[in-house]
Structure 1
Amino acid sequence: MGEVREGVARRGLLTAGAVGGLMAAAGSPAEAKQGGSAGVGTQLLSTPPSAIVETRSGKVRGCVRQGVYTFKGIPYGKTTAGAARFLPAEAPAPWKGVRPSLTYGPCCPQVARGGWQNDETAFIYDWDDGYPGEDCLRLNIWSGGVTGKARPVMVWIHGGGYETGSSQELPAYDGERLARKGDLVFVSVNHRLGGFGFLDLSSFGDPRYAMSGNAGQLDLVVALQWVHDNIAAFGGDPGNVTIFGQSGGGAKVSTLMAMPSAKGLFHKAIVESGSLLDVGDTGYTRRLAEAVLKNLDIAPGDLGKLAAVPPMALVAAADKAKNAMPKSPPGKINLGWAPVADGHAIPGPTWTNGAPALSADVPMIIGVNLNEFSPSLGNAALEDIDEDRARVTAKSFGGASPAAWAAFRAADPKARPVEILSRIVSAQFRLPAVVQAQAKAKQGAAPAWLYRFDYNPKTVLDGRVRAFHCAEMAYAFDNVDRCLNATGGTAEARALSAKMSDAWIAFARSGNPNHKGLPRWPPVSTGAIPNMLFDAVCTMKEDPDRAQRAALSA
C-alpha cells in the first residue's frame, strides 16, 4: 500500500500527499516547430517604448517576445505582511517613474514540495517553485497587442489546492503561445494560500478578521477588479473576461461564481479537474484556527501577535494543525485549507443547492482527466500490480466496492489492473464535474460543456504518463513543446493541442467552444450528458461512464 501512495505525484487538488502534477524551455527549436511566429534572422525579444503601459498605480515596463507583449510581477495589491496579514487586500500604492515588470514576483510562502524527491515525477512536472514572500499579490500578462482593438481576456488561477502553487510553477502556465494564437490577453495571478489566505479567525472576537477565512479568495476578487480597471491599457476587453483554473484553481473558479463581490468581473468560466461543490464549514475551519494558535502558543485574545510570527513558522504551524485534523473517508476530497461560508464574502453554500444564481448567465466548460490519480507515474513497479492488490487499494484509497470494481472492469476487460485502479480513484474528480454541469443545465440559463481528457503520450516513460492530473493544460494552452517532459512533443500531441487550444480560444471569444476542427460539441442538458473526449482522435460520446458512476454511488 505504501508503494502505491508513494507513486502518487504530490501536488494538485489534493496538494502534498495525494494527486499530482505536470510538465521546457522557451524559444527552443521544438517550440518553433509548434508554430513560433519568428523566423531565422529576426529579432526575438525587445523592450521597446511601446512595452511601457500606464496602470492606475503607475507605469510598468515589459518586453515583446516574438510579437507578444509580456509583463510579469505587476502588483495588484499591497504587501500582505505584518499587520496586513489575514486582512482583505488593499489596492497597491502608486509609484513614480516606470516600474520594471520583466520577472515573476514572490509566491506565497508554503510547504516544501514533496514531488522533488521522486526523479520521474519531478521530470514530468518540471516545476519552477520561484521564491517566497508575503508581497505576493502579483499578476502576469501576455497580450497579442496593447493597441488596436479590445481582445478577449483569460485570467488563469493556479492549482495546488488552497495551500500550494503559484502562477509560474508549471511550464504550461506560460501564456505567450495562447495569447499569440488567439490574439487575446492572458493573465495569471498569485494570491495568499494556506494559513495566510484561509485562517478563519472570525470566532475570536476581533472584527478585523471577520473575513480572514476567505482572504485568499478575496485576493482573487481584487485581482479581477484590477483587470477590470486596467486591462484595456494592455489591449484587453474588460467586458469579455474568462476565468479558468485547474485542480485547486478550478475550485477557486467554482467558488468565485458564488461570491457577490466577484459578480460582473468575469463573463465565462472554465473548471479543469476542480469541481469542488462546497467550501469548508465553520466548525472545521475554526477548530483548525484554534490548532494553529495553539501550535504558535498564542492565546485567542492576543491575535495581534500573529503579525510578528516569521512566515515559515506560520507555514509550519498551519501544516501541523492541518495534518492533525480528522481525515476524510475514502473517496472524499478534503483539502485541509479551504474557503468558508462566513456570511460575508461567501454568504452561504456555493454549489450544494444547485448552480449559484449570482452567475446564472456565465457559460462554463467543465472537465476532468481520465487518470487524475496515476499510481505508476513515479513508480514503474506498480504497472505490474495484480488484480487482488489493486482491488484492495481501490477500496481503501478510493472507497470502491467490489461492484464498482466490476463495473469499471466490465467497461474495459483488457485493461491492466493499475489502469482500473487509476480510473476508479480518479472518479472522485469525475463525479462532481458531472454534477456541476448538470446543475448548470438545470438552472436553464447559460450552457455548460463537459469534457474528459484521455490522451496518453506513450513515448514518455513507457506509456506510464497517461492522462494524469494537470496533463491537459499543455494542450489547452498550446504549450506541448514547452512541456516536452510530459508530452514528448510529437506530431500527434501537437495536433491534439491545436484542437483543444482552439476550443478554449473559441470559448473565450464567444462563450461557445465549438470550432471546425472538432466534432459538434453540444452542451449538457436536462436529458443528455454529452462529453467531448480529447484524445489522439477526438470524439463525442453520450455519458461514457454512466454505469461506473452509478456503481460508485450505490
Structure 2
Amino acid sequence: MSNLQRRKFLKQSAAIASGVTLSALLNQPVFGSAPKKASPVASTIHGQVRGYVDDGINVFKGVRYGADTAARRFMAPLPPESWTGIHEATAYGASSPQGSRGGDNMSEDCLFLNVFTPALRDQGKRPVMFYIHGGAYSGGSGSSPLYDGVRLCKRGNVIVVSINHRLNAFGYLYLARFGGTEFADSGNAGQLDILLALKWVRVNIAEFGGDPANVLVFGQSGGGAKIATMMAMPAAKGLFHKAATMSGQQVTASGPLNATLRTRAMLEALKISPERAGEVRTIPYQRIMEALGTKDPVLPFGSVYFGPVLDERSLTRHPFYPDAPAQSADIPMIIGNTHDETRAFLGGDPTNFTVGWEELPDKLIPNMRVDIQPEVVIAHYRKLYPNLSASDLLFKITTASRSWRGAIIEAEERAKSGSPSYAYQLNWATPKDNGRLGAPHASDIQMVFDNIDKPGATAIGEQAQAMADIMSETFIAFAKNGKPDNKLIPKWRPYTLRDRETMVFDVPSRLEKDPRGEERKLFEKVPYIQAGT
C-alpha cells in the first residue's frame, strides 16, 4: 500500500469510527479528481454500484434487483445475494431469452434495472418514472436507445428507471396444473419480476434522489398491458401511485385452461410428456427458445401466446373485466393510443397499400380480432369516410377494432367507477417515408422520452421536436402531480361517459369529445376478448 493509499484508508476509517455515514463518505470527491468527473457510487441494500455521468446525469446500468432465475426457472423471483466491494454499473444487463430482438446478450440471469438521476443522496424526493418495455410478453428489453432517460431527467428533474424481466415461456408458461408447488407461480413469474423491481425502488430510490411515495409506472404496448394487469394484482397495491399506458391494454388475462393447452403444445414440441413436465425446469434454455415458434392451439393465428394467467394466486380477477379493479380506483391513469396503430403491424406488406375493394373483406377477417361481418363494417366506414381508399380503410378499421378497442373499454370502465383517467390519441404523423405510416404503433415512445435523435427514432421534420416537447412535458407533469396539465397543451379534463374527453396530440394539441365516436359505436355491438384469453 502506497503512502497516499494508506493516508486515504486511515482517513476513511477514522471518519467511519467517528459516526460519519457511508453515504456522506461516498459524497466526498476522490483525491486528485474533479468532483464533476468522479464516477458516481450509490449504496443499495444489496451492495454498492458504480455508474457514470452522461451530460450531467448520473447513470447506473445493469443494477441487479433479483437473483439469477436459472435455478428457479418458472418460480417466483428472489432478491439477490448481497455483495462486497463495488459492482460496476456502466453497461446494460442481459435480456430475457427470446427471439432475434434480444440480440447477443440474453440469459436467464436477467433481473437487472437501470437508473438515471440528476443527483444522489440529496433528499430531493424526485418523482420516479418507472418504464416497462413493450414487445408483447415475448420480446424486448429495457436497453433500447429510445428508453434512455438522460433527456427526461434533465428536462423534468425526475428519476427514470427501466427494467428487464422474464418473458415468453420463461415468464408466463403456466405449469400449475401439472403438479408441484414449484410450478404454482409459473403463469405470472414475469409479472412477479416487475413487482420485485418495484419493491427495489421502494427501498433504494431515496439513495438516488427519488421519492418512493411518488412512483409513476409507464409503458408502451406490452409494457402498458403489464401495467393494466398489475392494477388488478393484490401484491402490486401500494408499489406505484400513478400509471400511464401507451398503446397497451389488458382487458382479460389468459384463462387457466387455455393456458394449459398452450403448455401442452410446448411440452409436445419439446418431446416431454405431461407426466415428466418437471424436466422442463432443467433442460437447456436454448431448447425452450427453439419451441417458442410452436403454433398456438387456441388462436387461429400466430405462435403460442404467452401472457398473464388468471391463476387465482397472483391474479384472482381479469384486469378490466367485468369492471375496473377497485384496488387501483384511486390511481390516476393515462390511457393512450396512436391514430394509425396497425400501419406498424401491416405496413410491411406492400399489398396492403394496393388492396382493392373486393380483396378487403379477406384482408380484414384475420386482422380485426373481433367476430363481425367485414362487409357490414366496410359499408359503415364507406359512409363515414367516402373519400378514403380500400387501403386507408384497412388500416383504419383494424386500428379501431384491434388496437383502440381495449383502451376504450378500460377508459369507460374507469369512468363508470369515477376513477381519474386521461385518454389521448397521437395524431402527429412523421413525414418519414412520405408519411405512409402516419402515426403508427410505438411512435409515441420517442416523444415521451424526448429521444427523437436516438437510433430507432422515426420522428423527423420541423415539428418533430415541438411534438416531443409536448408529450415529454405532459408525462413529466403527470409524474409530478397526478395531473397532465402543463403550458404546452390545453386544459386536459378527465375522461367521462358524457363527453369522452380525449387529448389529440398534434402541433398544436387539442381536446376533443369522443373522437372516432361512430367507429366506437359500431364495434361496441360485438364482444371484445383479449387474444390470449
Normalised TM-score (structure 2) = 0.87
1:466 Cα offset (Å): 1.3
Deviations along 1:337-379, one digit per CA (max 9) or x if unpaired, are: 0111111111222210211111111010001111111166435
Mapping 1:111-510, distance limit 5 Å:
111-113=99-101, 129=103, 131-148=105-122, 149-169=124-144, 171-320=145-294, 323-328=295-300, 336-374=305-343, 377-379=347-349, 382-398=352-368, 401-427=374-400, 428-444=402-418, 446-458=419-431, 460-483=432-455, 485-488=457-460, 490-510=461-481
Match of 2:52 in 1: 63
Deviations along 1:510-554, one digit per CA (max 9) or x if unpaired, are: 000011211111111232201111123312110011111222333
**Is 2:60 the partner of 1:91?**
no
Alpha-carbon distance between aligned partners in 1 of 2:42 and 2:494, rounded to the nearest angstrom? 39
Deviations along 1:300-337, one digit per CA (max 9) or x if unpaired, are: 343442233111211122431xx1413258xxx99810
1:163 Cα offset (Å): 0.9
- Contact kept, 8 Å, 1:129 with 1:166, in 2: the verdict is no
**Is 2:43 the partner of 1:54?**
yes
1:98 Cα offset (Å): 0.6
Match of 2:22 in 1: none
Alpha-carbon distance between aligned partners in 1 of 2:65 and 2:183, rounded to the nearest angstrom? 21
Structure 1 108/278 Cα, relative in aligned 2: closer, same or farther at 3 Å?
A: same
Alpha-carbon distance between aligned partners in 1 of 2:362 and 2:403, rounded to the nearest angstrom? 20
Alpha-carbon distance between aligned partners in 1 of 2:443 and 2:417, rounded to the nearest angstrom? 31
Q: Which amino acid aligns with 1:518?
A: I
Q: Which amino acid aligns with 2:389?
A: R
Q: Which amino acid aligns with 2:90?
A: L
Alpha-carbon distance between aligned partners in 1 of 2:350 and 2:479, rounded to the nearest angstrom? 39
- Contact kept, 8 Å, 1:194 with 1:315, in 2: the verdict is no
The structure number with the bigger radius of gyration is: 2
1:189 Cα offset (Å): 0.6
**Is 2:86 the partner of 1:102?**
no
1:291 Cα offset (Å): 2.1
Number of aligned positions between the proteins: 486
Deviations along 1:455-474, one digit per CA (max 9) or x if unpaired, are: 1111x112113111101111
Q: Which range moves more in the overlay, 55-64 or 403-412?
A: 403-412
- Contact kept, 8 Å, 2:41 with 2:48, in 1: the verdict is yes
Q: Which of these residues, 485, 490, 507, is aligned with residue 519 of structure 1?
A: 490
1:502 Cα offset (Å): 0.8
Q: Which of these residues, 486, 490, 515, is aligned with residue 544 of structure 1?
A: 515
Deviations along 1:62-90, one digit per CA (max 9) or x if unpaired, are: 11111111111111100011x31011000
1:179 Cα offset (Å): 1.4
Structure 1 202/451 Cα, relative in aligned 2: closer, same or farther at 3 Å?
A: same
Q: Which amino acid aligns with 1:48?
A: A
Alpha-carbon distance between aligned partners in 2 of 1:318 and 1:48, rounded to the nearest angstrom? 45
Query: Secondary structure at 1:220's aligned position in 2?
Result: helix
Alpha-carbon distance between aligned partners in 2 of 1:167 and 1:310, rounded to the nearest angstrom? 24
Deviations along 1:411-455, one digit per CA (max 9) or x if unpaired, are: 4333333222111111121111111011111112x3000001111
1:387 Cα offset (Å): 3.4
Deviations along 1:139-190, one digit per CA (max 9) or x if unpaired, are: 0111122243110001111111111111124x32111111111110010111
Structure 1 328/552 Cα, relative in aligned 2: closer, same or farther at 3 Å?
A: farther
Query: Secondary structure at 1:457's aligned position in 2?
Result: coil
% identical equivalent positions: 36
Alpha-carbon distance between aligned partners in 1 of 2:256 and 2:37, rounded to the nearest angstrom? 49
Q: Which amino acid aligns with 2:444?
A: E
Alpha-carbon distance between aligned partners in 2 of 1:388 and 1:297, rounded to the nearest angstrom? 44
Higher relative contact order at CA 8 Å, sep ≥6: structure 1 or structure 2?
1
Match of 1:531 in 2: 502
- Contact kept, 8 Å, 1:142 with 1:185, in 2: the verdict is yes
- Contact kept, 8 Å, 1:159 with 1:249, in 2: the verdict is yes
Normalised TM-score (structure 1) = 0.84
Q: What residue ranges of structure 2 are gaps of 5+ in the alignment?
A: 1-34, 526-533
1:209 Cα offset (Å): 1.2
Root mean square deviation, CA, Å:
2.2
